[in-house]
Chain A
Amino acid sequence: MEAGTLRQILLITDGCSNQGEDPAAMAALAHERGITVNVIGVVENDVIDEKGIKEIENIALSGGGVSQIVYAQQLSQTVQMVTQKAMTQTIQGVINRELKHILGESKKLEDLPPDTRGEVMEVVDELGETSKLEVLVLVDTSASMKHKLPTVKDSLLDLSLSMNARIGENRFSVFVFPGKKKDVENLLEWTPELNALSKIFPKLTTGGITPTGPAIREALSYFNKKRSLRGLLSHDEQYYEDSM
Chain B
Amino acid sequence: MMNSTMRTQCKLKKGDRITGKWNANEYTVIKELGYGANGVVYLVESKNQPFALKLSDNGTSIISEMNTLKSFSKVHGSAIGPYFLEADDFQRQGSTLPFYVMEYIKGEGLLEFIEKKGADWIGVLMLQLLTSLVELHKHGWVFGDLKPENLIVSMPAYRVRCVDVGGTTAIGRAIKEFTEFFDRGYWGLGSRKADPSYDLFAVAMIMLNAAYPTRFSKKGEGYMQLKERIIQKQVLKPYRKILEKALLGKYISAEEMRQDLITILSQPSDQSISKTQKVQKTKPAQSTKQASRLQQKTRQKKKSHFMETFVLVAVISLLYALYMYDQLL
Cα-based distance from A92 to B22 in the complex (angstroms): 23
Q: Which residue of A lies closest to B96 (CB)?
A: A110
Q: Contact at A129–B173, with CB atoms within 8 Å?
A: yes
SS class, residues of chain B in contact with chain A: mixed
Bound-complex Cα distance A68 to B60 (A): 19
A92-B60, A122-B67, A161-B185 known; A114 and B87 CB under 8 Å? Answer: yes
* Interface assignment of B109: CB less than 8 Å from any CB of chain A: no
Which residues of B in the span 6-44 have a Cβ within 8 Å of any Cβ on A?
A: 22
Nearest B residue (CB) for A167: B173
Interface status of B81 (Cβ within 8 A of chain A): no
Contact A114 B66, beta carbon cutoff 8 Å: yes
Question: Roughly how many angstroms separate A93 CA and B251 CA in the complex, as a whole number?
Answer: 42
Q: Residues of B contacting A5 with CB < 8 Å?
A: none
Say yes or no for A208: interface residue by CB 8 A criterion: no
Q: Can you list, as one digit per residue, whether each of A80-112 has a CB less than 8 Å from chain B (1) or not (0)?
A: 010000001000100000000000000001100
Q: Mark A161-175, 1 if CB is under 8 A from B, else 0.
A: 111111100000000
Contacts of A114 in B (CB 8 A): 22, 63, 66, 87-89, 98, 100
Q: A164-B191, A166-B174 are in contact. Are A118 and B66 (CB under 8 A)?
A: yes
**Most chain B CB neighbours (cut-off 10 Å) among A110, A124, A161:** A161
- Contacting B67 at CB < 8 Å: which of A68, A121, A161, A166? A121
Considering the complex, which residues of chain B in the window 172-195 have a beta carbon less than 8 Å from any beta carbon of chain A?
172-175, 180, 185-186, 191-194
CA distance A81 to B37 in the complex (A): 11
Among A109, A110, A121, A124, residue most surrounded by chain B Cβ atoms (within 10 Å)? A121
Return chain B residues, CB-CB under 8 Å to A44. none
Smallest CB separation, A173 vs chain B (Å)? 21
**A residues within 8 A CB of B60?**
88, 92, 109, 121, 124
| B50 interfacial contact with A, CB 8 Å | no
B173 → A minimal CB distance (Å)? 5
Q: How far is the CB of B179 from chain A (nearest CB, A)?
A: 9
Query: Is B96 a contact partner of A165 (Cβ separation < 8 A)?
Result: no
Q: Report the minimal beta-carbon distance from B149 to chain A, rounded to whole angstroms.
A: 15
Chain A interface helix/strand/loop/mixed? helix
* From B63, B174, B180, contact of A121 by CB (8 A): B63
Name the residue on B nearest A76 (C-beta): B180
Name, among B59, B60, B66, B175, the residue most crowded by chain A CB atoms within 10 Å (CB to CB): B60
Is B139 positioned at the interface, with any CB of A under 8 Å from its CB? no
**Distance in angstroms between the alpha carbons of A92 and B194 in the assembled complex:** 24
Q: In angstroms, how far is the closest chain A Cβ from the Cβ of B190?
A: 9
B70 sits at the interface (CB 8 A):
yes
A167 touches B88 (CB 8 A): no
CB of A117 closer than 8 Å to a CB of B: yes
Contacts of A109 in B (CB 8 A): 59-60
Chain B neighbourhood of A92, CB < 8 A:
60
- Write the chain A residue with the least CB distance to B66: A118
Contacting residues of chain B (58-103) with chain A, CB-CB under 8 angstroms:
59-60, 63-64, 66-67, 70, 87-89, 96, 98, 100
- Report A109-143 CB contacts with B as 1/0, cut-off 8 Å: 11001110110011011000100000000000000
Residues in A whose Cβ lies below 8 Å from that of B100: 114
Task: Decide: B174 and A165 in contact? CB cutoff 8 A.
Answer: yes
Q: How far is the CA of A166 from the CA of B192 in the complex (A)?
A: 8
On chain B, the residues within 8 Å of A165 by CB distance are 173-175, 185, 191-194
A165 to B63, CA, bound (A): 22
Q: Are B87 and A115 in contact (CB under 8 A)?
A: yes
With A and B bound together, what is the CA distance between A115 and B175 in angstroms? 24
Cα–Cα distance between A31 and B245 once the two chains are bound (Å): 48
Closest CB-CB distance, A68 to chain B, in whole Å?
A: 8
Task: Determine if A77 is an interface residue (Cβ-Cβ < 8 Å).
Answer: yes
A68 to B64 alpha-carbon distance, docked (Å): 22
When C-beta atoms are compared, the residue in chain B nearest to A92 turns out to be B60
> Residues of A contacting B66 with CB < 8 Å?
114, 118
Q: Name the CB-closest residue of B to A126.
A: B173
Q: Is the CB of A167 within 8 A of B172?
A: yes
Nearest-CB distance from A64 to chain B (Å)?
A: 16
Q: Which residues of A contact B22 (CB under 8 A)?
A: 113-114
Q: A110-B59, A121-B60 are in contact. Are A162 and B192 (CB under 8 A)?
A: yes
- CB-CB nearest 7 A-B residue pairs: A165-B174, A165-B192, A114-B87, A165-B193, A166-B174, A121-B63, A161-B185
**Can you list 28 A-B pairs with a CB-CB distance of less than 8 A?**
A76-B186, A77-B180, A81-B1, A88-B60, A109-B60, A110-B59, A110-B98, A113-B22, A114-B22, A114-B66, A114-B89, A114-B98, A115-B87, A121-B60, A121-B63, A121-B64, A124-B60, A158-B185, A158-B186, A161-B192, A162-B175, A162-B192, A163-B174, A164-B191, A165-B185, A165-B191, A165-B194, A167-B172
Give residues in B with beta carbon < 8 Å to A. 1, 22, 59-60, 63-64, 66-67, 70, 87-89, 96, 98, 100, 172-175, 180, 185-186, 191-194
